Amino acid sequence: MNILDQIIASKHEEVARRKREMPVAELERSPFFESAVRSMCQSLLEKAPTAIIAEFKRRSPSKGDIFNAAEVIPVVKSYEQAGCAGISILTDEKYFGGSLDDLITARPHVNVPLLRKDFMIDTYQIIEARSAGADLILLIAEVLTKEQVYTLASFAKSLDLEVLLEMHSGLQIPKINEHIDIVGINNRDLKTFAVDVDASIRLLDQLPGEYLRISESGLSASTTVH
């Protein structure tokens, strides 16, 4: 079992536990649940050609500890002040040191769109995202069937959330559907964590032109971005 399989197995257990602890009806009472959604698509287009989605992440399986003591408010405020188009907030606790509370805490302090970045496998997590103030969710094509992508994406749209579908291989292109807003090319292979920035270049022209397309991971210098 590779690390991605381990994460997904753990995520199924986590979601089952969270469902027991927090009923949907209670999530729907959040003040964020009916709030206006900020469009990541619009923000990216306004910031083009070098629009950046900054990320709040304390640790990862590939990098280990990054900054475990990081506090979300000063970090996200500095990202917005630097001109980012949006902010991705890791909410997985076991492997990335995040939590849904980070998203809830960040929301009142910035005006840019917020992405709930997690391993989404259940519509319950999408309700959580909406109740925590997210503007869009991430779906990872590598861990979802075509049918699951459709179900989760269409459900997200019913809650007015935008959807970012992440892929690493051209084999995952058929999982794109009409409910997807942004297609992300992950330069990191989630099974091995190997990074190949050229993956974005190879896949770009294979993606349908009507979708907004972004490059993810391994972008550690301005020269790489440009």
28 is an active site residue? no
94 is an active site residue? no
111 is an active site residue? no
57 is an active site residue? yes
**pTM for this prediction:** 0.91
77 is an active site residue? no
Burial status of residue 30 (CB atoms within 10 A of its CB: 0-12, 13-18, 19 or more): middle
Please write the tens of the pLDDT for every residue from 39-57. 999 999 999 888 999 999 9
Instruction: List CB contacts of 67: < 8 A, sequence separation 6 or more.
Output: 58
Catalytic option among 57, 88, 142, 200: 57
Please write the tens of the pLDDT for every residue from 109-161. 999 999 999 999 999 999 999 999 999 999 999 999 999 999 999 999 999 99
For 201, list phi and psi in degrees, rounded to 5.
Answer: -65, -40
**Three-class DSSP category at 188:** strand
Question: What is 3-225's CATH number?
Answer: 3.20.20.70
Burial status of residue 33 (CB atoms within 10 A of its CB: 0-12, 13-18, 19 or more): middle
Radius of gyration of the chain from Cα atoms?
16
